[in-house]
C-alpha cells in the first residue's frame, strides 16, 4: 500500500517551512501565483489551492488586489509540525497495513505447512492402519440392513472404510448403505475389533 501527498499540500508545507525558518518574513508579500507556479513547476490552480490551505491555517492573508502577505511565523511553525505528525501517523498506518499483510501470508504458509506435516504423518502411518477384508457369511442377519441401523461401530468398534461389490469399491459408505449378500467389507481395527466384527456378522436373530 502506498499513499501520495498532493502536490499543493507539499507546496504549502514547503512555503510554511521557509516562513518558519525566516527565509520568508512576516509582512512580506509572496510571489504572484504565476511566478510560484513557474518556480514549483505546477499549474496556477495548484498554487491557488496551496494558498487556500495557508490562508485557512492563518499563515498568510490573501488581499484582494494586493497579493498574498505572510501574517504569522508562529502559525507556519504549527502547520509544519502538525503536518509532520500527521505524516508520521500515516507512515505508521502504512507499516501496520504491511505487517498485517505479512501476518496473513505467514498464517497461510503455516496452514499449508501444517497440512503437509499431517499428510506426511498419514503416509508414514499407512502401514500401521491396514484395512482387513471380511466377506459376509451365508444368510448373515446384516444383509438388507444399513450400517446405521446395525450400529456397527457401537457394537464392534470396527470402522468401515469401504465395501467391495464384484470389481467395484464403494469408498466410505455412509450410514444409509445397506449390505448385500455378496459384499466384502473393508474395516480397520486391531485383532479384537476384527474378531468382534466377524462374530457380529455370524450372530443369529
CATH assignment at residue 58:
1.10.10.10
Q: Report the alpha-carbon distance of residue 48 to residue 34 in Å, rounded.
A: 10
Of 63, 80, 97, the residue that ends a domain is 80
Mean pLDDT of 106-111: 72
Share of the chain above pLDDT 70, in %: 83
pLDDT value of residue 198: 93
Non-local CB neighbours of 175 within 8 Å, separated by 6+ positions? 146, 147, 148
For residue 86, being part of any structural domain is answered with: no
Segment of 56-60, 99-103, 165-169 carrying the highest mean pLDDT: 56-60
Q: What share of the chain is helix, strand, coil (3-state, %, to 5)?
A: 55, 15, 30
For residue 95, being part of any structural domain is answered with: no
For residue 76, being part of any structural domain is answered with: yes
Average pLDDT in the chain: 83
Of 36, 52, 80, the residue that ends a domain is 80
Q: Report the alpha-carbon distance of residue 61 to residue 76 in Å, rounded.
A: 12
pLDDT, tens digit (0-9, with 9 covering 90-100), for 127-176: 446 788 999 998 899 999 999 999 999 999 998 988 988 778 888 888 89
For residue 98, being part of any structural domain is answered with: no
Q: Report the alpha-carbon distance of residue 205 to residue 197 in Å, rounded.
A: 16
pLDDT value of residue 1: 46
> 52: domain range?
7-80
Confidence of residue 67 (pLDDT cuts 50, 70, 90): confident
**Position 6 pLDDT exceeds 50:** yes
pLDDT, tens digit (0-9, with 9 covering 90-100), for 30-53: 988 888 999 899 999 999 999 999
The total of structural domains in the chain comes to 2
For residue 93, being part of any structural domain is answered with: no
**Do residues 137 and 197 both lie within one domain?**
yes
For residue 124, being part of any structural domain is answered with: no
Share of the chain above pLDDT 90, in %: 38
Of 80, 103, 121, the residue that ends a domain is 80
CATH assignment at residue 138:
3.30.70.1450
3-state DSSP call for residue 27?
Answer: coil
For residue 51, being part of any structural domain is answered with: yes
**Position 117 pLDDT exceeds 60:** no
Q: How far is the CA of 2 from the CAs of 5, 68, 147, 170, in angstroms?
A: 10, 34, 60, 55
For residue 114, being part of any structural domain is answered with: no
Amino acid at each position: 500500500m502506498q499513499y501520495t501527498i498532493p502536490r499543493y499540500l507539499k507546496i504549502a508545507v514547503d512555503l510554511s517551512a521557509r516562513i518558519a525558518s525566516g527565509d520568508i518574513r512576516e509582512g512580506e508579500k509572496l510571489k504572484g501565483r504565476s511566478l510560484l507556479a513557474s518556480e514549483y513547476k505546477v499549474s496556477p490552480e495548484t498554487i491557488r489551492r496551496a494558498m487556500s490551505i495557508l490562508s485557512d491555517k492563518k499563515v498568510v492573508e490573501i488581499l484582494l488586489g494586493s497579493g498574498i502577505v505572510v501574517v504569522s511565523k508562529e502559525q507556519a511553525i504549527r502547520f509544519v509540525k502538525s503536518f509532520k505528525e500527521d505524516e508520521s501517523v500515516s507512515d505508521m498506518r502504512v507499516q501496520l497495513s504491511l505487517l498485517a499483510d505479512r501476518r496473513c501470508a505467514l498464517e497461510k504458509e503455516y496452514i499449508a505447512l501444517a497440512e503437509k506435516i499431517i499428510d506426511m504423518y498419514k503416509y508414514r502411518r499407512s502401514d500401521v492402519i491396514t484395512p482387513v477384508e471380511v466377506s459376509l457369511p451365508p444368510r448373515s442377519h446384516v444383509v438388507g440392513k444399513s450400517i446405521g441401523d446395525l450400529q456397527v461401530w457401537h457394537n464392534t468398534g470396527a470402522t468401515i472404510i469401504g465395501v467391495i461389490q464384484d470389481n467395484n469399491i464403494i469408498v466410505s459408505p455412509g450410514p444409509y448403505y445397506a449390505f448385500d449378500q455378496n459384499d466384502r467389507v473393508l474395516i480397520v481395527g486391531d485383532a479384537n475389533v476384527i474378531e468382534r466384527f466377524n462374530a457380529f456378522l455370524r450372530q443369529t436373530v
